[in-house]
């Protein structure tokens, strides 16, 4: 029963991060456009939070569990996290999700243009929501599992000490502070991801709730990854340093290869490509999290 309760708590934490992605589309309920400057700053804040929690939270926790001498498991975990993100990115780049689906849908994607934005500008999950294609949504969910898994792993690993003393009482369980920090950090990082998905959908005149649905859908694999990772580190405590390292490596690599480039792309029309807003956001995110991590 205790294990079941623990799995429920971890799943709910992962679900919270997925639902947070939908928050990125909420501003479009009230405004027509989303400021590039604000979008870049939000990516920067998310990146600063993720880097801080990964280095001073996950990696530091992994070092605490590592035995004396060279932290082989931690370093191995770090490298494994980097490799998984890189491999998953390559898989996504070479996956043609429209292959094998009905030709009419492909023609619609090619033909539809509104205010200079075409369906080709949409993220895959946004395309599927735009067309209401259930078969395509199911296929994409499998592909997104590869992309979102590292973030879910970070959540799951951070709950490794769930139930031990020193945490925050939630649903009758003692939840580690690190788990709360990681869940909040990934939830915040998911918000600008949701915005990035919603912006071209708005240009195509799609409904607000479709934008929210597409954003949340893109992160649905995260609670699954969280449960799998938590189960593994709970059963194999000796590999905790590797688990913490894996999560930290994946998160840092995601920030450097996806979040920062995404921010610079969003700020392409701003002075100096938005680097000033990005750096300000990075510093704000780091400054906000450092005192909490070391509290």
- pLDDT at site 209: 83
For residue 214, give its domain range.
2-28+58-293
Q: How many domains does the chain have?
A: 1
**Closest to 149 measured CA to CA, from 38, 17, 40:** 17
* pLDDT at res. 193: 76
What is the residue-averaged pLDDT of the chain? 77
> Is the residue at 204 inside a domain?
yes
Query: What pLDDT sits at residue 71?
Result: 85
* Residue 242 domain-assigned (yes or no): yes
Q: Above 60 in pLDDT, residue 286?
A: yes
50 found inside a domain: no
Encode burial over 87-110: b for 16+ CB neighbours within 10 A, e otherwise.
ebbeeeeeeebbeebeeebeeebe
Q: What is the pLDDT of residues 191-235, one digit of tens each?
A: 877 877 777 667 666 678 888 887 888 788 889 889 988 988 888
* C-alpha 141, offset from chain centre: 15
SS3 of residue 127 by DSSP = helix
| Span 100-154, pLDDT tens digits | 444 444 444 444 333 344 444 455 555 555 555 555 555 555 555 556 777 888 8
Tell me if 52 is assigned to some domain: no
**277 within a domain of the structure (yes/no):** yes
Q: Measuring CA to CA, which residue among 15, 44, 29, 13 is closest to residue 192?
A: 44
Between 151 and 89, where is the model more confident? 151
Task: Please check whether residue 53 lies inside any domain of the structure.
Answer: no
Tell me what the mean pLDDT of segment 54-74 comes to.
Answer: 82
Note whether residue 35 is domain-resident. no
- Do the strands 113-114 and 117-118 form a parallel or antiparallel pair, or are they unpaired? antiparallel
The structure's pTM equals: 0.71
Which of 110, 104, 92 is CA-nearest to residue 221? 92
Is 240 in contact with 160 (CB distance < 8 Å)?
yes
Domain presence at residue 92:
yes
């Amino acid at each position: 029963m205790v294990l079941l309760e623990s799995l429920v708590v971890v799943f709910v934490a992962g679900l919270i991060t997925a639902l947070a992605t939908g928050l990125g589309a909420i501003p479009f309920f009230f405004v027509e456009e989303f400021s590039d400057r604000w979008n870049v700053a939000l990516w920067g804040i998310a990146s600063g939070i993720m880097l801080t929690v990964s280095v001073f939270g996950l990696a530091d926790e992994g070092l605490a569990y590592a035995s004396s001498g060279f932290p082989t498991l931690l370093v191995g975990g770090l490298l494994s996290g980097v490799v998984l993100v890189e491999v998953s990115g390559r898989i996504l780049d070479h996956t043609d999700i429209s292959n094998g689906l009905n030709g009419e849908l492909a023609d619609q994607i090619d033909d539809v243009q509104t205010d200079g934005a075409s369906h080709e500008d949409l993220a895959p999950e946004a395309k599927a929501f735009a067309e209401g294609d259930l078969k395509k949504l199911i296929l994409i969910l499998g592909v997104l599992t590869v992309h979102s898994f590292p973030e879910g792993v970070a959540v799951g690993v951070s709950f490794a000490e769930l139930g031990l003393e020193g945490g925050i009482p939630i649903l009758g369980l003692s939840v580690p502070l690190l788990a709360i920090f990681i869940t909040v950090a990934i939830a915040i990082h998911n918000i600008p991801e949701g915005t990035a998905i919603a912006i071209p959908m708005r240009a195509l005149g799609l409904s607000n709730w479709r934008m929210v649905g597409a954003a949340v859908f893109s992160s649905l694999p995260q609670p699954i990854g969280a449960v799998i990772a938590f189960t593994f580190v709970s059963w194999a405590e000796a590999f905790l340093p590797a688990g913490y390292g894996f999560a930290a490596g994946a998160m840092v690599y995601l920030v450097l290869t996806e979040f920062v480039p995404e921010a610079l792309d969003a700020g392409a029309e701003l002075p100096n490509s938005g680097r000033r807003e990005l750096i300000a956001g990075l510093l704000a995110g780091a400054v906000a999290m450092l005192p909490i991590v070391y509290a």
